[in-house]
Structure 1
Amino acid sequence: MGTHALDRDLAELAASARAALVREIDASGAWAVDPVWREAFEAVPRHLFVPYYYVGVRGGYERRWGENPDPRARERWVRGAYVDAPLATRLRDGELVSSSSQPSLMAMMLAALRVRDGDRVLEIGAGTGYNAALLAHRLGDDCVTTVDLEPEITEAARRHLAAAGYHPVVVTGDGARGVPQRAPFDRIIATCTLSSVPVGWLAQCRPGARILSPLATGLIALTVRDAGHAEGRFLHTPAYFVPLRGADRHEEGFVEWGGVPRRARENELFRFLLTLTRDTLEPREAYTLWEREGQPRRERYGITVSGEREWAWLDDPEGPYAWPLR
């Protein structure tokens, strides 16, 4: 098969797989609050952002390329690029350092970001560039900045974005420090897990800006009041992302369960509380609280940033249950 025929075949396969993914996300209700994102997912070709990805094979990994001359291998690769699942895209010494997130979760996060036309958005964690492309499709290249610590990741993201026809600003730097030269921002979205909200982000936001970030296996949505104050609650959904690499990364340690029942250890909401209170409560204390308060869901928790202080809380920022994050 000639090169042009191969490209045409690949494009047709991708269009069909992308349409199927959009229907699946639509059915999930992920963008129900902002269905305009449907158009972005219909337009942006995810397979250009994952020219290779890793999938589990008998405990190991294999790469799959779209350039394979075998049409069956190409079809598997393309359909794999459009599954509603996260795809590992970069490993280092067996550790995951970059991935393409689950599309329905990306759609839900983008809808929850509540962007408006003309908003300037900073993305923390460039990944493959796919999320930045979705933002650029909605808002335009000039309104989108994405940053990552790893030069290899930002270089690859630029290539993928250019191949798809998008040219947002891609910065190599510590996402924990933001991108002050591109501020002010109306929205900040992180695609990596934080242990606390970096203070520098607030100073780079306009009053009323919204920050959406994974934290403690959840998603926190903060409204910025000014350069020193922000507050908000967690969304209902669980979220697991690659940790932020840079100044504010927190290393997790061994958990001593201390008599916590197995049913709690395996309960996703309890593990959320345990992660959120990791530096304050012992697991047994967290379990006692969790049971006493009726096994609270994520929406009952929130975070407040006030100057140099930052704390998580249950139900009320000034209530009896509060735990410092830094």
Structure 2
Amino acid sequence: MSAYAVDPGLDDLAATARAALVREIDASGAWDADPVWRAAFGAVPRHLFVPYYYVGAQGPQGGYERRWGEDPSARRREEWLRGAYADTPLATRLRDGELLSSSSQPSLMAKMLAELAVRDGDAVLEIGAGTGYNAALLSYRLGDELVTTVDLDPEITESARRHLVTAGHRPAVVTGDGARGCPERAPFDRVVATCALNSVPRPWLAQCRPGARILAPFATGLIALRVRDAGHAEGRFLHTSAYFVPLRGGIRTEREAPDVRLSGLPRRARGHELLRFLLTLTAGGLTSEEAHALWEGEAWPARERYGITVAGDRAWAWLDDPGGPHTWPLP
């Protein structure tokens, strides 16, 4: 059996587990904005994209335990398959204990794909190939020729390409700096990132058609930008929280991943997820004390009240109004 084969005896279990995952995502409301995605999740076999993954090891040593589809133990192969269809993120690539790549939580993927608001005929650029599973879902919906996925790591793109072929899809899989986009495949109608940003890469705007939508993790949230032209985009954050591996590439931002300092803040505030979001979004623009005062003064604002504007050489985050009193520069 090859590294990407599946024990034929697990076929029925895979179909049952996939159907259960679809029901779970359905109940979560993740694709309510575009329920057509239900068919894609029901058809694309996630287990083909995670022939192995890592879970936290039990015991005092900690670390990670590898689960894989060719384990000599039938019980552990079944455990691997059930885990592949759990509504959880799966660690798929480690280096010296550092997480380099993962397969995102399926319900969050469903939410992001629904919020991407694709239409038939849209060309989509995905930043961060991961296992290839998200590209397969896009290919199922739109067709291989309209999907491009980019990743900096050639091992990741080669692995994603193999998984996609095994599942019957052949979108464009490109090895390159995701921050630079993919000019040879432009223009795009949609851009979706599966890695966290701390700035908006300008090449993405230049490679988008007017009216294109960009959806990306940013400051523990998801920003949805509408592109006006090569120099202008604006949008608000979604309600959803999101935690992703940071974007890696040659275009470096002026501000690395922010160091969120909670010391000195009231105990009840330190554990609040929305305050952490604000602290991350305003790092370098506000002190933690200033951010906390704003958060209290504005009655704990939800993510949807925040947004981002890109205009020429400037980019800034804001609360309620891009021209209002509460704005913070971005790289």
TM-score range normalised by the length of the shorter chain: over 0.9
SS of structure 1 residue aligned to 2:52: coil
Q: Tell me the alpha carbon deviations over residues 215-263 of structure 1, each in whole angstroms, 9 at most, x when there is no partner.
A: 0000000000011100000000100000000124553354444521122
Could you tell me which of 176, 191, 197 is aligned with 1:173? 176
> Does residue 1:280 correspond to 2:267, yes or no?
no
Q: CA deviation at 1:64?
A: 1.1
Alignment counterpart, residue 318 of structure 1, candidates 310, 313, 323: 323
Partner residue, 2:128: 125
Supply the distance in 1 between the matched residues of 2:28 and 2:262 (Cα, whole angstroms). Answer: 36
Structure 2 counterparts to residues 1-326 of structure 1, below 5 A: 7-58=7-58, 59-246=62-249, 247-248=251-252, 250-252=255-257, 254-257=259-262, 259-326=264-331
Structure 2 residue ranges without an equivalent (≥5): none
2 CA distance for matches of 1:232 and 1:14? 39
Aligned-partner Cα distance in 2 for 1:126–1:6 = 22
In 2, Cα distance between equivalents of 1:257 and 1:41: 39
Could you say what secondary structure the match of 1:224 adopts? strand
- Alignment length (residue pairs): 323
- Give the secondary-structure state (helix, strand or coil) at the position aligned to 1:222: strand
Distance 1:60 1:258, change over 3 A: closer
Deviation readout 1:129-183 (Å, 9 max, x if unpaired): 0000000000000000000000110010001001100000000000000000000
Q: Are the structure 2 counterparts of residues 160 and 6 from structure 1 closer, same or farther at C-alpha, using a change threshold of 3 Å?
A: closer
1:68 CA drift (Å):
2.5
| Partner secondary structure for residue 173 of structure 2 | strand
SS at 2:239 equivalent: coil
Q: 1:305 to 1:73 in 2, by over 3 A?
A: same
Q: Deviations over 1:272-301 (max 9, x none)?
A: 000000010010000000000011000000
For 1:181 and 1:241, the matched residues in 2 are separated by 27
Q: Which moved more, 1:38-47 or 1:246-255?
A: 246-255
Question: What residue ranges of structure 1 are gaps of 5+ in the alignment?
Answer: none
Q: Secondary structure at the match of 2:129?
A: coil
User: Whole-Å Cα distance in 2 between the matches of residues 278 and 68 of structure 1?
Assistant: 45
- TM-score calculated relative to the size of structure 2: 0.95
1:8 positional shift: 2.1
Letter in 2 for 1:260: L
User: Deviations 1:183-207 (Å, cap 9, x if unpaired)?
Assistant: 0000000000000110110000000
- CA change 1:195–1:6 in 2 (3 A) is closer
RMSD, matched Cα: 1.5
Distance 1:248 1:311 in 2: 17
CA contact (8 A) 1:199 1:308 kept: no
